[in-house]
Structure 1
Amino acid sequence: MRSLFLIGLIVGLTTSATPPNFKCPENNGFFGDPKQCDKYYECQDNVPEEKLCPDGLLFEIKNPNHERCDLPFNVDCGERTELQPAVSTVQCPRKNGYFSHEDPQVCDKFYNCVDGVPNSVPCPSGLIYDDYQGTCTWPESAQRQGCEKENRKKEKLADGFSCPDGEVLGNNNRPLPHPTYPHPEDCQKFYICRNGIQPQLGSCPPGTVYSESNLKCEDPEGVPGCEKWFDDDKN
């Protein structure tokens, strides 16, 4: 995903037609500005030409033979703390980069901004977006305030089901990562809570029903209340 984002954004923009007050460390190459992390210079025959990375990207100084602007979490600016003025919108604080959703409670979506155009991207189930890593990760790894599992907005299925709070213990007395719950009206159906938060409707194989006590699909004879589920031709 990151490599696709960078296509067309590697090369910076020339900002000065006259030689700036910068001394080339070598006769030829690309060198970072000592103060501004998104500014750099192209030196040809010891003559520098000032350039800027596209807004939101920073200049990578590791290899003077390559002109590379990259995403902030891939660049160590060190003491180069200054940046060009931002060109921002609600979804894109800068024209390019990955940014969290404008609603602080929407933790599992982020924007991939390309030249000021936001593209909404969902995180995989159970993960949240982390600004510092620039990727989706587990909530406990991100430590993003307000995005703890108990504070996140609950998703609901069409029938109104949402994942209950609290952990569900398995037969080994350990919390289940994807707990299941019985359907209130259909013995063959059940709910799955992916990573404890994302609801999904499941169904047992033909001829079996969901057992709340054993947390799995079993023969109807062993599940109280569902012994005759298939006798009445309900399905």
Structure 2
Amino acid sequence: MLAFVLLILSLFSNLTYGKSKSCVHGSLSPHPTDCTMYQACVHGYQMNMTCPYGTAWHQKNSTCADAAEVRCKLQDDKGDEYAFSCPSTFGEFPDPKNCTKYYICSYGTATSMVCQKNTGWDPKLKLCNHLSNLSKCP
């Protein structure tokens, strides 16, 4: 049965797993270092699950939500600077800290981009849009 569950989970999400002593079957928790991931416990195995493209883990709702709406702090190896982690190998993603910026991910490497004056990143259209059209960008 466990093999079947692992097969189903692997079809819908990128995952890694390992035995955990404190893992309660059915529990969901945020990943300790990556807000685009979460951890699910299946029969004592802690699974690292990746949220779908453009989303991040929302602990209060226990689900993946639009990355633009989920606030998370990512830190680089120094622990004091912001480092963006691509949620997918390719794509365009909003900057969680600044609505006028976004990232282009290519082969898992993020390149920071800035929208032109009076525009901000529109995650639905995947382009820079006039600020008056963006409700969540001051």
Q: TM-score, normalised by structure 1?
A: 0.33
Select the structure of larger CA radius of gyration: 1
More strand as a share of residues = 2
Q: TM-score, normalised by structure 2?
A: 0.50
